[in-house]
Every structure is written in structure tokens, then in C-alpha cells.
Amino acid sequence: MLAAYNIGKKYKQIWALEPLSFRLERGIYGLLGPNGAGKSTLMRLLAGLMTPSTGEATIQGVSVRNGVHARSRIGYVPQTFQLYPNLTARELLRHTARLKGGASHAEQEKEVERLLCSVNLEAKADRPTRTYSSGMVKRLGIAQALVGSPDVIIVDEPTTGLDPEERLRLRNLLAEVAMRSVILLSTHILSDVETSCKEAIVLTNGKLRYNGPLNGLSRYAQGRLWQWEASELEWRSMAQERLLAARRTADGVLCRTIADAPPTPYAQLAEPSMEEGYLALITDREARLHECAR
């Protein structure tokens, strides 16, 4: 449904995103990577908001750069969503529905009311958006992206600014939308990916490092994830930044780290989590580059 063919972007002579290809069918996908990995660049390319230096992206075979036709099939929520401060949420959604077109006035009105309700903004729908909290702005951005039931929805940092109840509401809403659309969520919060996505795309340094099932990530730390119980004194003398986890126990501190050899004589290999696999992948060196699951 959403396909990238050798798509890439460079500024001057430097690749912000090296050419990459993939194909995504209906469902929710996590887009992961450290700062500067190329996530925003990829999202903007897929949303048709940026001209690629090479390759192209298509939705149902139509280029995302192909004007109104392709753009009405994409909903994009950037990290910071710009609003017209004097418009209300209802007015903004009506305006978006009119721009996207393709439905009668009555259908547009019905959709606006349904979306306001879905993101829990109906009670504040007639207040100017300048009076909204950051979480409300985020929810309005998501509602706006869903207008017209696009085939592809791309959301940058979906849960930033949302309280736990609103996170849950959003998760349920996206799960429902994913029955008919491709949803790409870029986030640094791995638990969001774990709870919502079945697959992940990982970028580092502008390169595609992984594209596959979430549970496939743990293998990057397999055989290299060590766990041991340190005394509090030992723990204090360790290089803390190398520890993935440290949890206090009755006798000391339970430590976990990734290393090719045991960090202490009494460390034992442990079963890595998805998050530990992800950390192993993004901190690995060139040897593991391009090791994609598909």
C-alpha cells in the first residue's frame, strides 16, 4: 500500500537519508532511531512534503508527489503542529474536511463530530485553539490527520504531551484506524511501539538498519546481554552509562549490560528484551550495518 523505492535525501553532498526501499501494508509500524537518524526526513519524504534526491514513494502505486490525488490519501502530524490560533477545533476540522473534499457537506459535518469525539475534544471544540494545552493540540493534530480516512497516516512523536488516559485513548483509536490504513509512528518511547506496533523500521545515521517484526529486535542482543548482582559499592564504581538497567535488590543492585565478553566473572547471559535488542542495534558498529530482517 505504501511503498518506498530507493528513496533518499541529501543536502549538498551529505546523505540525510541514504536510499532505502520498503513496502508497508495495513497496520501500525514504529519508526525508531536516535536523534539525527533521518526519521523526520523519511516521514516528510513519505508525506510528499519534500522532494527526494533519488527514488520515490507511492501509495497504491501513485506517487506521493502527485498533487491533490496522492496528498488526500495521506495524513501527517508533525512533531510541532502549527495551528491558526483564532480558529476553534471544530472550525479547523471543517476547514480541513473542505480542503480534502470528496464528501458531501452533511458527511463532512458528521465526520468532524466523530473525530472531535474520538480525540476527546468535543467539550472544548468551540474554544480558540490558542487556549489549548499541548496535549489538546496534539490530539487536534491527530484528528486533523484522520479527516477523509486517508490510506496512510504518519505521526511524529504521537504521545508527547499526552497523559496516560489520553495515551490509551489514542492507542485504541489508532488500532481501529489501522484496520484500514497504514500508520507510521515515529517515537523515542519504546513502550509505545511495544504496545501498538507489530513491526518496526530502525534508522541510524541516515541508514536503514532494521525492517521487520518487533520481536526480531531482541536477537541483536542475543548472546551479549549480561546480568549480575553487584554490591552497592561495586555498582557505584561502575561506568553507569554502560548499564542498560540497574534495579535495587535485597543484597545489592541487579545490573544488565551488553558486551561481547562477561563484564564481571560472575555475570551470566540473560534473555534480552526488545528494547535491549534495539539498544544493541543502534549502538553497534559498521559490522552490523544493513542487517535487515527482510
Ligand X SMILES: Nc1ncnc2c1ncn2[C@@H]1O[C@H](COP(=O)(O)OP(=O)(O)OP(=O)(O)O)[C@@H](O)[C@H]1O
Closest to ligand X by CB, 141 or 206: 206
Residue 209 within binding range of ligand X, rule CB under 6 A: no
Q: Using DSSP, state whether 152 is helix, strand or coil.
A: strand
Exactly one of 20, 37, 45, 282 binds ligand X (CB under 6 A); which one? 37
Residue count, binding to ligand X (CB under 6 A): 11
DSSP structure class, residue 215: G
Cell 501527517, residue located: 76
Contact flag: residue 138 with ligand X (CB under 6 A): no
Q: Is 36 in the site for ligand X (CB under 6 A)?
A: yes
Grid cell in block for residue 130: 490558542
- Least separation, in Å, of the C-beta of 33 and ligand X? 5
Largest CA distance in the chain: 71
Cβ closest to ligand X, residue 77 vs residue 125: 77
The answer to whether the CB of 129 falls within 8 A of the CB of 88 is: yes
* Neighbour tally for 247: CB within 10 Å: 9
Phi, psi of 84 (to 5 degrees): -85, 110
**Using CB under 6 A, which of the segments 32-40, 169-177, 228-236, 258-266 binds ligand X?**
32-40
What is the spatial distance between Cα 133 and Cα 37, in angstroms, rounded to a whole number?
29
Give the x-and-dash track for 169-208 against ligand X (CB under 6 A). -------------------------------------x--
40 binds ligand X (CB under 6 A): yes
CA distances from 70 to 9, 27, 48, 63, 193 (A): 20, 19, 8, 7, 27
Residue 177, helix vs strand vs coil: helix
Among 8, 33, 52, 150, binds ligand X (CB under 6 A): 33
Tell me which of 19, 29, 41, 190 binds ligand X, using CB under 6 A.
Answer: 41
Among 8, 30, 32, 39, binds ligand X (CB under 6 A): 39
Query: Could you identify the residue written with the cell 512534503?
Result: 49
Among 2, 3, 4, 16, binds ligand X (CB under 6 A): 16
Give the x/- contact pattern for ligand X in 82-101, rule: CB under 6 A.
Answer: --------------------
Check: CB of residue 170 under 8 Å from CB of residue 146: no
Would you tell me which residues interact with ligand X (CB under 6 A)? 11, 16, 33, 35-41, 206
